[in-house]
Amino acid sequence: MLNKIVAFANQKGGVGKTTSSVNFSAALVALHYRVLLVDLDPQGNATVGSGVNKETITAGVNEVLQEQIDIEKAIISKTEAGYALLPANGDLTVAEVALLRKPAQESNLKKALNSVRENYDIIVIDCPPSLNMLTLNAFVATDSVIIPLQCEFYALEGLSALMNTIDQVQRTLNPSLVIEGIVRTMYDPRNRLSTEISAQLIVHFGTKIYQTVIPRNIRLAEAPSHGVSIFLYDRNSRGADAYMALAREFLKYHKKMPLLEAVDAVGLIEN
Ligand SMILES: Nc1ncnc2c1ncn2[C@@H]1O[C@H](COP(=O)(O)OP(=O)(O)OP(=O)(O)O)[C@@H](O)[C@H]1O
Ligand SMILES: [Mg+2]
């Protein structure tokens, strides 16, 4: 059993955290892993992108973080994409403020996830676009961080603040925290700046860069408006191929999965 928690984080907005969280989770489901996706963003994009109406949820990660409800009561056990979801909506902003008012609230998510951890092979956390109390809860709870990065002019700005925060958490609240890797998103190989920044990243971070590159693909942008993952929306798209490749690359590093034996029971895996 894999038993991993991984957070998609980058305080820069719109870099593909949610698109990656949703479709990485869906790819792992297609490979027969039991996945829980945690929406840790008050925007609730991962919730909506999983086909759940964020306005109608009565319990979510907000209540869990404030220790008002048992996590099992807040988890939606099966979304259309096949993973379980701990949903979020705007109420989560309330939790963020409430957590700041009380001391030592940075381990609340960890405590909650620990109680359900054995029910899943992988727990994926979609972080908000800031280095706030919510993201800190993610860094304390998670085993590793995947950083989605868009290869554009400002991409590297803020990366050192992110690395420093992870470093601080490593030295204090979560000594086993690691950076899993950086994944290049919305990549356009025809754009010279993209290829230059990508080359710089490889020089700086070497093997920490995932070989899998997520291309700019309109189907990935369309899928959330239908509340489904890319595998349900257009499994033949380049976006679907890319997220399946990312999931496989992640699994390869963890050496737990016999890649050739992945069974295509739901007909989602090509090649
Ligand atoms: N590979 C891609 N190709 C095309 N569009 C994409 C791709 N990845 C993400 N998008 C689109 O870019 C926008 C930002 O993506 P996403 O919401 O995943 O980023 P985010 O980092 O979660 O944003 P936020 O910081 O607001 O949480 C969305 O409209 C999304 O549909
Ligand atoms: Mg997001």
Per residue in 186-215, pLDDT tens?
999 999 999 999 998 998 888 899 999 999
pLDDT of residue 124: 98
Structural domain harbouring 130: 4-270
**17 pocket-lining for ligand 1 (C-beta < 6 Å):** yes
Among protein residues, the one whose CA lies closest to atom 16 of ligand 1: 16
**Is a pLDDT exceeding 80 seen at residue 91?**
yes
Interval between CA 148 and ligand 1 midpoint (Å): 10
What percentage of residues in the chain have a pLDDT greater than 90? 80
**226 pocket-lining for ligand 1 (C-beta < 6 Å):** no
- CA 62 – CA 232 distance, rounded (Å): 28
Contact 139, 174 (CB under 8 A): yes
pLDDT of residue 259: 42
**Is a pLDDT exceeding 70 seen at residue 152?**
yes
**Is a pLDDT exceeding 60 seen at residue 130?**
yes
Q: In this structure, what CATH number is given to the domain that contains residue 241?
A: 3.40.50.300
CA 24, 210, 155: angle at the middle one, nearest 5? 95
Task: Choose one of 18, 125, 183, 225 to mutate for the ligand 1 pocket test, by most ligand atoms within 8 angstroms of C-beta.
Answer: 18
**217 pocket-lining for ligand 1 (C-beta < 6 Å):** yes
Q: Which atom of ligand 1 is nearest to the CA of 239?
A: 1
Number of compact structural domains in the chain: 1
Q: Which atom of ligand 1 is nearest to the CA of 12?
A: 25
pLDDT of residue 155: 82
Contact 184, 209 (CB under 8 A): yes
pLDDT of residue 256: 53
Q: 225: exposed, middle or buried (C-beta count within 10 Å: 0-12, 13-18, 19+)? A: exposed
pLDDT of residue 255: 66
- CA 176 – CA 144 distance, rounded (Å): 8
pLDDT of residue 262: 36
**158 pocket-lining for ligand 1 (C-beta < 6 Å):** no
Contacts of 71 (CB under 8 A, 6+ apart): 64, 86, 112, 113, 115, 116
DSSP string, 36-98: EEEE--TT-HHHHHTT--TTT-SS-HHHHHTTSS-HHHH-BS--TTSSEEE---TTHHHHHHH
**197 pocket-lining for ligand 1 (C-beta < 6 Å):** no
